[in-house]
């Protein structure tokens, strides 16, 4: 692995982390539009609040977050294999 590859891998890991943080914030903001008292924990267990879990925009954005987290895990696993 070259130094350039290390920089690229580090940049990729940082980029994914930034995307995940932004998406988590977005998911929480949507949950709070639906249920103003929603907390971050409510976004982790949306099925406990039917208003949140039944909102299609929340479901879509939460699905994007899940995809980003899955990609992050896959990339981390691949980088550990090296």
Domain boundary assignment for the chain: 39-82
Predicted TM-score (pTM) of the model is 0.87
Residue 79, pLDDT above cutoff 80? yes
Residue 27 near residue 65, CB atoms below 8 Å: yes
Distance of CA 12 to the CA centre of its chain: 15
Rounded CA-CA distance 42/22 in Å is 17
* Average pLDDT of the segment spanning 8-30: 95
pLDDT, one tens digit per residue, over 40-75 is: 999 999 999 999 999 999 999 999 999 999 999 999
Average model confidence (pLDDT) across the chain? 93
pLDDT of residue 8: 87
CB atoms within 10 A of CB 55: 19
């Amino acid at each position: 692995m070259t130094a350039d590859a290390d920089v690229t891998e580090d940049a990729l890991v940082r980029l994914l982390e930034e995307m995940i943080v932004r998406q988590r914030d977005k998911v929480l903001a949507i949950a709070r539009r639906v249920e103003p008292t929603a907390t971050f924990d409510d976004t982790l267990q949306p099925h406990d609040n039917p208003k949140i879990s039944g909102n299609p925009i929340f479901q879509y954005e939460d699905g994007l977050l899940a995809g980003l987290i899955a990609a992050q895990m896959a990339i981390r696993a691949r980088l550990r294999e090296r």
